[in-house]
Structure 1
Amino acid sequence: MTTYNLIIADDHKMFIDGLMSILNDAPEFNVILTAKNGAQVVKYLDINGAADIHLLITDLTMPEVDGIELNNIVKERFTSLKTLVVSMHIDGTMIDTLIRNNVDGYVPKNAEKEELLEAIRSIVKGEKYFSSEIKKAYTDAMFASKKEKEISLTNREKEVLKLIAEEYTTQEIADELFLSKHTIESYRKNLISKLNVKNLAGLTKHAIKIGLLDD
């Protein structure tokens, strides 16, 4: 039977103890190091190398060196070592960052024992593994990002939006831009539709988001 050597990095002892208990029922896995943060892992790898280590299981939020930075270091300096993130944080942008930096898998901390073992076994055999919950968060984030990029405003629309956010009335905006009140009302309706918001408060939030109110 092939034995796979693992490292676990997590600053919560209860999680490490729970994972060790799960792995005790899987004799093909041998945990050679448990660490409280990424810095301890990097120090170990710098001294011992990663040639005999098959998988690093890491949390994301840890002191000194977090899971994202740890994954980056491993992928740059110890390219043979696989990485699996096990975290409570399910954020699409964070997942995208990890995928861009070649993480091998990601499962939430509330995953069932069977799925966690499936993820570990898949990755040590050279496959990628992302739980369905992680895949959904990632695709939702990418769709939202794509949709955001597709929304483009003309310079005039930006001018109207900025004045709306600064609480100008329709008549005041018309006077400021030398346009008719009817034209400004049309701009306002188009902006609400284009940005998919419900009211002027939503327009104001978008103006802040894209920096129109910055000094």
Structure 2
Amino acid sequence: MSKIKLILADDHSLIRAGFRTLLGKNEAFEIVGEATDGQDLVKMAHTIEHDVILTDITMPGQGGLDAMEQLKKENPYFKFIVLTMHEEREYVLRAIKIGAQGYLLKNIENAELAKAIKTVYDGGKYFSPFVVNLLAENYGKPEALETSEVTPREKEVLQFVAKGFSTKQIADELGISIRTVESHRINMLKKLRVSNSAELIKKAIKLNLID
């Protein structure tokens, strides 16, 4: 079985060395790149074949969240886990809004980190318990998590659905296949727990997913 390829971004060499050792003990993972700041991370993400990016937030120059935001705009399918000591609400909410698939604290246990990486690699999301609690306290758990699960590409499709575009028109606008558009629409119906496009638009407006 092929290994899950990881890029690790952190400006502290000791932290990188620690996670390199920790992850190196698991045969499922391979660290293929190490970035010391956001600019390094952006370059590596485009030049090194990888599956999941683990990034800190505070780094010299371009920070981890700024780099993630840039990369997500360039390729919504990049997978990110924020690995940090920051528990502040503003960092968590911004990371989720940008599209982070995971948010973990650096004191995480080895087994939980491995589980998080595998979950994100498989297309899921993994947040530390304090993140789930924070979302529940600030927004109410169900809706906050629903919002965080919608991908940037799905949001793009949603904008066109709300404008009344047909599936073919959306496909033409985004340069993707009709089948892919339908797949995104079906995924959003499931994630927002609605049964048709009218309910989808209504729920999206309620959750501020439509501009």
What is the TM-score of this pair, normalised by structure 1? 0.61
In 2, are the aligned partners of 1:57 and 1:83 still within 8 Å (CA)? yes
CA distance in 1, matches of 2:60, 2:139: 29
Query: Per-residue deviation at 1:30?
Result: 1.3
Tell me what 1:165 maps to. Answer: none
Query: Per-residue deviation at 1:21?
Result: 1.0
Tell me what 2:12 maps to. Answer: 12
Tell me what 2:67 maps to. Answer: 70
Query: Per-residue deviation at 1:79?
Result: 2.4
Tell me what 1:103 maps to. Answer: 100
CA distance in 2, matches of 1:28, 1:16: 18
CA distance in 2, matches of 1:4, 1:83: 13
Give per-residue Cα distances to partners, 1:30-51, cap 9 Å, x unaligned: 11111111111112334x2x6x
Q: What amino acid sits opposite 1:136 in the alignment? A: N
Query: Per-residue deviation at 1:116?
Result: 1.0
Q: What amino acid sits opposite 1:7 in the alignment? A: I
Q: What amino acid sits opposite 1:64 in the alignment? A: G
Give per-residue Cα distances to partners, 1:9-54, cap 9 Å, x unaligned: 00111111111111112112111111111111112334x2x6x311
Q: What amino acid sits opposite 1:65 in the alignment? A: Q
Give per-residue Cα distances to partners, 1:150-183, cap 9 Å, x unaligned: xxxxxxxxxxxxxxxxxxxxxxxxxxxxxxxxxx
1:114 aligned onto 2:111: yes
What does residue range 137-148 of structure 1 map to in structure 2 within 5 Å? 137-142=134-139
1:88 aligned onto 2:72: no
1:126 aligned onto 2:123: yes
Residue identity (%): 29
Aligned length: 140
Tell me what 1:183 maps to. Answer: none
Query: Larger C-alpha radius of gyration, 1 or 2?
Result: 1
In 2, are the aligned partners of 1:93 and 1:138 still within 8 Å (CA)? no
In 2, are the aligned partners of 1:10 and 1:62 still within 8 Å (CA)? yes
Query: Per-residue deviation at 1:123?
Result: 0.6
> Runs of 5+ in structure 1 lacking a partner?
144-215
Q: What amino acid sits opposite 2:38 in the alignment? A: G
CA distance in 2, matches of 1:141, 1:64: 31
In 2, are the aligned partners of 1:87 and 1:107 still within 8 Å (CA)? yes
Tell me what 1:28 maps to. Answer: 28
Give per-residue Cα distances to partners, 1:173-213, cap 9 Å, x unaligned: xxxxxxxxxxxxxxxxxxxxxxxxxxxxxxxxxxxxxxxxx
Query: Any idea what SS the aligned residue of 1:115 has?
Result: helix
In 1, are the aligned partners of 2:56 and 2:84 still within 8 Å (CA)? yes
